[in-house]
Amino acid sequence: MQIIDGKKVSAEIIEQIKIETEDLKQSSGKTPGLAVVLVGEDPASAVYVRNKGRACERAGFSSFEHRLPGDTPETDLLALVKKLNEDSEVNGILVQLPLPEGMDSQKVLEAIDPAKDVDGFHPVNVGGLASGISDLAPCTPAGIMELLDHYQIPIEGQDVVVLGRSNIVGKPAALLLLKRNATVTICHSRTKNLKDITARADILVSAIGRAGSVTADMVKEGATVIDVGINRGVDGKLTGDVDFEAVSPKTSYITPVPGGVGPMTIALLMKNTLTAFRKQNGL
Ligand code: GUN
C-alpha cells in the first residue's frame, strides 16, 4: 500500500507554474491575475480563500480578493463579476461556493466570462468538458487526474466507480475519467446494491461528504482509493469519506485526508489561471 502525497505533488506543480510564469512575465511584461470573491462569513470558505491567495503568491500571480457581506444584494455581486470580466489584469475569476442562502448560484456562475472561468463551472465549459474539448476543467477532478498520472496508475480500460454526482466533483470527475477511456460508473444516494458495484472498482473515487461512508468490505483487494471527502468530526479533526484505517491495508494506493486531494485543487486552480492567462494574451 502506498499513500498518495497530494501535498508534495501540489507543491511540485506550483513550483513548475512559478517557473513558467517567470518566463511569461519576462516575455510579455504581463502578470497572471486571479480574483477570488467571498460572500459572507463561512469559516471554511474563508480558510479556502486565504489558501488561494497564498498559492497565488507562490505561483507569482497577482491576487485580488473581494469580500462582500452575507447580505449583499445579488445585483451587487453580478455587478462585481461584470467589472472583473472587463478588467484586463484579471485572467481568472472564482466565486467561492456555497453562496449565502437566497442567492442564485447558477445565475452568478453564468455571469462569469467563460474565458475567465477557472472553476470550469460555466455551462460553456461544462459543455466543453462533456464534449472532451475543454481546457478549463473543474479543479478538484482535474487534480485527481494529476495524482493518478503522477503515480502512473493506469486509467484506460479500468473499472472506475465514482461515488457522488455533484457538479463540482462527481460529474466532472466521471467525464475526465471517461475521456481517458476508463469504464465509469457513477453511484449516488439512490444506487441499489452499492457494495456489489464498488467491490468491482479498480479505482474508487469517493465524493460523498460523510465520514465512514467507504468501509473495507466495499473495496477490492489492490484497488486505488481516492478520497475527496472533507468532513469535520465533533473533535474538530478533518476526515475523509473513507474508513482509512480499515480500508488502506487492502489498497494499492490511497489518498489521505488531509494531504491528498485537497492540496491538488489549489494547484489546478493555479494551472487553470495560467491557461486562461495564456489564452487571453495569445501566449
Ligand atoms: N467550494 C468548494 N469547492 C469549490 C470549488 O472548487 N470552487 C468554488 N468556487 N467553490 C468551492
Domain with residue 216: its CATH number is 3.40.50.720
Is 282 a domain residue? no
> What gap in Å lies between CA 113 and CA 95, rounded to an integer?
12
pLDDT of residue 85: 98
Short-list 97, 80, 191, CA closest to 140: 97
> 179: Cβ–Cβ under 8 A, 6 or more apart, which residues?
132
- Residues 52 and 163 placed together within one structural domain of the fold: no
The pLDDT assigned to 36 comes to 98
What pLDDT score does 124 carry? 98
**149 is a domain residue:** yes
Ligand 1 pocket mutation, candidates 119, 166, 228, criterion most atoms within 8 A of CB: 119
Ligand 1 proximal residues by C-beta, below 6 Å: 94-97, 119, 139-140, 168, 265
At 51 the pLDDT is 95
Residue 232 belongs to what domain range?
139-262
| Ligand 1 centroid to residue 135 C-alpha, Å | 18
Identify any residues that bridge with 10 across adjacent strands, giving them in sequence order: none
Q: Could you report the per-residue pLDDT of 237-264, keeping only the tens digit for each?
A: 999 999 999 999 999 999 999 999 999 9
Residues 267 and 10: beta-carbon distance below 8 Å:
yes
C-alpha cell at 187: 453511484
Of 5, 96, 113, 171, which is the active-site residue? 96
Residues 147 and 98 in one domain: no
Structure confidence at residue 181 (pLDDT): 98
Segments of the chain scoring below 50 in pLDDT: none
Q: Is 104 a catalytic residue?
A: no
Check if the beta carbon of residue 7 is closer than 8 Å to that of residue 67. no
Return the closest-CA partner of residue 260 out of 144, 180, 175, 134: 144
Q: What is the CATH number of the domain that holds 58?
A: 3.40.50.10860
- The answer to whether the beta carbons of residues 39 and 70 sit under 8 Å apart is yes
Q: What is the pLDDT of residue 283?
A: 95
* CA of residue 53 to ligand 1 center, whole Å: 14
pTM of the model as a whole = 0.97
Q: Is 196 a known active-site residue?
A: no
Q: Give catalytic status of residue 52 as yes or no.
A: yes
Could you tell me which residues are beta bridge partners of residue 254?
Answer: 3, 225
Q: Within this chain, do residues 87 and 143 fall inside the same structural domain, yes or no?
A: no
